[in-house]
Amino acid sequence: MKVGPGNGAAGSIYYPLLFTNTSSVTCTMYGYPGVALVGQPGGSVLGGPAVRNATFPKQVVTLAPGAVAHASLQVGIAKNYPPAQCKPATGHYLEVYPPGEYAALFVAFTAQTCTGHVGDGSTLGIYVVRPGATGP
């Protein structure tokens, strides 16, 4: 698993979380990954976990060996919130639970998040797993 290049939008940056089938057999993925920002692998979650974005319906994504699927991660800009409300903290890793899995993967990723109360409870949003390496 790795994080692809980011693309900015009003108040957020979107990053594709790329899942590659490294086995020699076809596999499937379905639904949302669980994602949170942490200071170090196995460390405490900073702010809230990513909130699911239901823009796209869930679908079974079939991955042949070597094929890639992605889930878009929305990272809200913490500096857009008043510091006293946001209580900013910097994370250095994403803790990612692929759909249907119970073991976390950790990938280096530095971003600021809010540990105080903001909007829907997190500066992170996550979309369903979709085919290919790009797209929302």
Nearest to residue 4, comparing CAs of 25, 24, 18? 18
At 83-136, the pLDDT tens digits run: 999 999 999 999 999 999 999 999 999 999 999 988 777 899 999 999 999 877
**Mean of pLDDT over the chain:** 94
Note the pLDDT of residue 135: 73
Q: Are 61 and 131 in contact (CB under 8 A)?
A: yes
Q: Where are the domains of the chain?
A: 2-131
Q: Does the reported pTM lie above 0.85?
A: yes
CB atoms near residue 13 (< 10 Å)? 15
Q: Return the structure tokens found at 71.
A: 């889930």
Note the pLDDT of residue 69: 97
Mean pLDDT over 54-62 rounds to: 96
Q: Which CATH number fits domain 2-131: 2.60.40, 3.40.30, 2.30.30, 2.20.28?
A: 2.60.40
At 66-88, the pLDDT tens digits run: 999 999 999 999 999 999 999 99
At 8, the pLDDT band (50, 70, 90 cuts) reads confident
Note the pLDDT of residue 118: 84
